[in-house]
Amino acid sequence: SQQGEEDPQALSIQEGENATMNCSYKTSINNLQWYRQNSGRGLVHLILIRSNEREKHSGRLRVTLDTSKKSSSLLITASRAADTASYFCATDATGNTGKLIFGQGTTLQVKP
């Protein structure tokens, strides 16, 4: 079963706009990670936020984590056509040892 649920399932924006994707999860976690998957390719790790962190930045990416609401958001600023991909959140539940539980993903299309 999937731990995370993401919304929206699909998002279409113009190049230069910001894209926000949300993820909710059910159990306590050690950390939450975001991955990107281009069509037909493997997953690429984007950013990891630990359970005691509230916000993290990496380049054009900003991730927030609210453990009280069991939710996270991924913001991509100034989007580019190359950002077109599927984005997945994944949680490493407390007590587990690296086994990731993935959300269903958000498909992002950035139109040039």
The CB-of-89 to another protein minimum distance in angstroms stands at 11
Tell how strand 10-14 and strand 106-111 pair up.
Answer: parallel
The CB-of-39 to another protein minimum distance in angstroms stands at 12
Binder to another protein among 44, 78, 81, 82 (CB under 8 A)?
Answer: 44
Q: Using CB under 8 A, which residues numbered 90 to 109 contact another protein?
A: 90, 92, 97-105
Binder to another protein among 31, 79, 84, 91 (CB under 8 A)?
Answer: 31
Select 14 or 58, whichever has its Cβ closest to another protein. 58
* Degrees, nearest 5: CA angle 66-68-74: 20
CA 50 to chain centre: 13
Select 42 or 112, whichever has its Cβ closest to another protein. 42
Please give the Cα distance from 99 to 79 (Å, whole number): 30
Residue ranges binding another protein (CB under 8 A): 2, 30-31, 33, 35, 41-45, 48, 50, 88, 90, 92, 97-105
